[in-house]
Amino acid sequence: MTAASPVRWTREDLLGIAELSPGEIELVLDTAESFREVGERPIKKVPTLRGKTVVNLFFESSTRTRSSFEIAEKRLSADSLNFSASGSALAKGESLVDTALNLQAMAPDLIVIRHAHAGAPHLLAKKLKAGVINAGDGAHEHPTQALLDAYTIRRHKGRLAGLKVAIVGDIEHSRVVRSNIHLLTKMGARVTVAGPRTMMPVGIERLGVEVAHTLAEAVRGADVIMMLRIQLERQGRMAIPSNKEYFELFGLTSARLAGAADDVIIMHPGPMNRGVEIASEVADGPYSVILEQVTHGVSVRMAVLYLLSGVHEETA
Amino acid sequence: MAATTTTASAAAGPGAPSGRLLIANGRLIDPSQGLDGAHDLLLEDGVVAAVLDRGEGPGAGERRHAGERRDLTVLDASGLVVAPGLIDMHVHLREPGQEYKETVATGTMAAAAGGFTAVACMANTEPVNDNRSVTEHILAEARRHGYARVHPIGAVSKQLAGLELAEIGEMVRAGAVAVSDDGRPVMNAELMRRALLYARHFDVPVIQHAEDLDLSGKGVMHEGEWSTRLGLAGIPGAAEDVMVARDLLLLEDTGGRYHLAHLSTARSLELVRRARRQGLPVTCEVTPHHLVLTDEEVARTVFSTQCKMKPPLRSERDRQALLAGLADGTVDAIASDHAPHHADEKDVEFDLAPFGILGLETTLGLCLDRLVRPGIIDLSRLVELLSTGPARVLRLPGGTLRPGSLADVTLFDPEGEVTVAAGAFLSRSRNTPFDGWKLRGRPVATMLGGRRIELPGRAPAPAAK
């Protein structure tokens, strides 16, 4: 599992999983494995990125992803700058491109961007010399989330190939789903997505997944169950009538785990709505690896920052 | 291939309105007369004087005496197609109000550069063309610049608000040739019913931008596999189809003339085909971009905002259906929906960019290269779609080279290779997804009322001798 991958990392940006090869994905996961140990030391710091500047550009609120990147940067000794939409130039009407060009003028090495609009990191990557890491763009991709999910699965199952993974919830609006579908299918897992028909995007089966419309069907034989956050306030009542009815149809309870594999693991990218998509008994139960995902997020992001900064150094 | 002009008079150079012009040695295509062959065209006093078979008739004599007659200019169109002036029945000239995107002057220059002698411009200006004085202003600007004829389209509703009818009669009297709220649909079914009835008094078509706004919602591209992959909100084909179906039902009751702007889906086309068979007075246009590109282009270009327009680039299945509609005669016109936007407005996140792309300077080349070359349609059908068809839909004076008709003529080279260079466009804007495309087929010259149009900054393609 930790054997050195023969693949060399050559990308200046990490914009999505869709364009990565299985070898590149393994390289990130293997690299993350070697950084995991740093987080277990009493002094959690290595000098790997000393003298590098990383800008965290968060145009959408985020606690988990942003802190995770920040901790990863600090553990690698990078100088990091946080920049959020509120109170920034963007709030004053500056365009994304202008904001980016201004940051560029300060010569950062890497820019981590979270944005509500799909394709925003790609727009930045076209304009900037700095490497761009997509920390979530609209409903498009969230590559580091998929990588940390894969890392977590691999630590528990020892492999990705051949596993049955069920992803349940609002498939249409989820960037986590898209990145996970790309990653898991590339690595040979079988993915089933499930959720209300009103939250299932057109043509999702073309991405190589099975579609289920009941929770029982999705859970049957699953090695991994990934639950997604339901945001009634965002999706509106034309998709589902109420949280209560959603929970009745797709909420994960202990009883509903019955058909899953004996060693099933339960995952959630957060933030969770207890009692909406997942019951507390499951979220806090023996199969849950939800907090582990958060822990591994730091190692995976250290790996991504490290790999990209290496490329940026060569081309700078 | 460049046409060359021979003239006996130094004073009667290109652009001289008076005298007679013989367009010789070209391939004359005029679907309105069923002509496609070796004919010369004689223009006199702003109208077509005669279509002459090569080597006989008065033309032969004219040519023989070209060196002696002072008032005859001969333009050698060897290797070129000579067609009735092309008409783009759907453009946005942005004047008044958004002159930083386009003006009547720059828009008609772009038209002439693209081989068009006439355009019909939509009403979504600022102020809206919902009254006579705006219509008159546009026409006055057009007369002042005169690179192409301009036919204003008035609004259906005041302020395009979709609530009350605009003064359609006054606008038609001032020169409007149709009414449309284009840019927005007429969402209110009752208003559409009234508009169809009322427009009958003035015998103008109601042009619908068919889009159910509830169904299109926050969508920014076609709903399908690619919107799902990209995580962009989709505009389902049904957003267009339900509006087309609704309007055709209304049209059954009202009569009048109904024209569908930028039809983009297989199902809408099928609805039109059925309505036609039923004898309903419906016509439709499609755009070059819907004929050439699909929704996959948004992914291929990694979220390029030059692929964002309404209706959105549709699926390959839809595109194939539109191509079939060109070939079987269901489609009446190809229209560009030329929609200029400033580069700054397009250089933003995909979700935030305005809808619309340019078309006037790429339409002919795209059609020649992507429709005629692969044999989807022949040249005669192309001329019908770009000239005779739109003239018929809007009942314009052009679209034909019958003796006595307007001497509006387009010369194009079906074999001329060109690389699209947005930077060199005469339009004030640059928003095209076709920048850098290599196309075979290009416009060479336009004649407006017998007068050759010369464009600023462009060497006249057919050099005067």
- Residue A107 confidence (pLDDT) above 60: yes
Q: Considering only the beta carbons, identify the residue of A120, A126, A175 that sits closest to B349.
A: A120
Q: State how far the Cα of B428 lies from the Cα of B424, in Å rounded to an integer.
A: 10
Residues of A in contact with B223 (CB under 8 A): 202
B249-270: pLDDT as tens digits = 999 999 999 999 999 999 999 9
Mapped onto helix, strand or coil, the DSSP state of residue B294 is: coil
DSSP assignment, residue B372?
I
To which residue do tokens 């740093």 refer?
A38
Q: Which residues pair with B124 in a beta bridge?
A: none
Please report the pLDDT score of residue B9 as a whole number.
34
pLDDT tens digits, one per residue of A41-59: 999 999 999 999 999 999 9
Q: How far is B348 from chain A (nearest CA, A)?
A: 7
Q: CB distance A202–B350 less than 8 Å? A: no
Q: Looking at residue A149, what is its pLDDT?
A: 98
Q: Which pLDDT belongs to residue B63?
A: 52
For the four alpha carbons of A29, A32, A33 and A36, in that order, the dihedral sign comes to negative
Tell whether A97 lies on the interface with B, counting CB pairs under 8 A.
Answer: yes
Lowest-pLDDT choice from A36-45, A152-161, A297-306: A36-45
The residues near B303 (Cβ < 8 Å, ≥ 6 apart) are A118, A119, A122, A123, B230, B350
Least confident of A231-245, B125-139, B193-207, B403-417: A231-245
Number of cross-chain residue pairs from A and B with Cβ atoms under 8 Å apart: 69
End-to-end CA distance of chain A: 32
**Torsion B29-B73-B396-B97 (CA) sign:** positive
Q: Would you call B460 exposed, middle or buried from its count of C-beta atoms within 10 A (0-12, 13-18, 19+)?
A: middle
Asked which of A172-176, A239-243, B200-204 is least confident by mean pLDDT, the reply is A239-243
Strands (DSSP E) found in B15-96: 20-24, 27-30, 35-37, 39-44, 47-53, 72-76, 81-84, 86-91
Mutation to test the A interface, candidates B220, B229, B342, most A Cβ within 10 Å? B229
Q: How far apart are CA A14 and CA A141, in angstroms?
A: 10
Q: What percent of chain A has pLDDT over 90?
A: 84
Query: Could you tell me the pLDDT band of residue A6, with boundaries at 50, 70 and 90?
Result: confident
Q: What is the pLDDT of residues B401-459, one digit of tens each?
A: 999 999 999 999 999 999 999 999 999 999 999 999 999 999 999 999 999 999 987 76
Whole-number Å distance between alpha carbons of A229 and A170:
7
Residue A122 confidence (pLDDT) above 80: yes
Contact criterion met (CB below 8 Å) for B183 and B213: no
Query: Which of B228, B344, B352 is facing A117, going by the closest CB pair?
Result: B352
Minimal Cβ distance to B228: which of A119, A123, A204: A204
Q: pLDDT grade, residue B463 (50/70/90)? A: very low
Q: How far is B344 from chain A (nearest CA, A)?
A: 9
> What residues of A are in contact with residue B344 (Cβ under 8 Å)?
95
How confident is the model at residue B7, as a pLDDT?
38
Q: Tens digit of pLDDT for each residue in B216-230?
A: 999 999 999 999 999
Q: How far apart are CA B350 and CA B219, in angstroms?
A: 11
What is the pLDDT, as a whole number, of residue B55? 63
Helix (H), strand (E), coil (C) string for chain A:
CCCCCCCCCCCCCECCCCCCCHHHHHHHHHHHHHHHHHHHCCCCCCCCCCCCEEEEEECCCCCHHHHHHHHHHHHCCCEEEEEECCCCHHHHCCCHHHHHHHHHCCCCCEEEEEECCCCHHHHHHHHCCCEEEEEEECCCECHHHHHHHHHHHHHHHCCCCCCEEEEECCCCCCHHHHHHHHHHHHCCCEEEEECCHHHCCCCHHHHCCEEECCHHHHHCCCCEEEECCCCHHHHCCCCCCCHHHHHHHHCECCHHHCCCCCCCEEECCCCCCECCCECHHHHCCCCECHHHHHHHHHHHHHHHHHHHHHHHHHHC
* CA distances for A57 relative to A80, A83, A284, B86, angstroms: 10, 5, 32, 50
Catalytic residues of B: 337
pLDDT of residue B190: 98
Q: pLDDT tens across A186-222, in order? A: 999 999 999 999 999 999 999 999 999 999 999 999 9
Identity (one letter) of the amino acid at B93? L
Identify the band that residue B56 occupies on the pLDDT scale cut at 50, 70 and 90: low
Cα–Cα dist B78/B274, whole Å: 43
> What is the number of alpha carbons within 13 Å of residue B181 lying toward its C-beta?
21
Interface check for A170 against chain B (CB to CB < 8 A): the answer is no
Query: What's the gap in Å between the CA of A113 and the closest CA on chain B?
Result: 13
pLDDT of residue B2: 46
Quote the minimal CA–CA distance from B299 to chain A in Å. 10
Give CA–CA dist A42/A61, Å, rounded: 31
| Residues B80 and B412: beta-carbon distance below 8 Å | yes
pLDDT at B187 over 90: yes
Q: What is the pLDDT of residue B58?
A: 53
ipTM above 0.90, yes or no: yes
For B17, the token pair is 């309105």
| CA B445 and chain centroid, separation | 16
Candidates A59, A140, A179, A180, partner chain B, best to mutate (most B CBs within 10 A): A140
Count Cβ atoms below 10 Å from residue A188 Cβ, excluding itself: 12
Question: In chain A, positions 230-289, which contact chain B (CB-CB < 8 Å)?
Answer: none
pLDDT 10s digits, A124-176: 999 999 999 999 999 999 999 999 999 999 999 999 999 999 999 999 999 99
- Do the Cβ atoms of B348 and A115 come within 8 Å? no
Give B115-160 pLDDT, tens digit per residue.
999 999 999 999 999 999 999 999 999 999 979 999 999 999 999 9
pLDDT (mean) for A80-90? 73
Q: What is the per-residue pLDDT for A11?
A: 96
Partner-chain residue, chosen from B234, B302, B347, that has the shortest CB–CB distance to A202 = B234
- Concatenate the DSSP letters of all residues of B339-365 into one string: ----HHHHSS-GGGSPS----TTTHHH
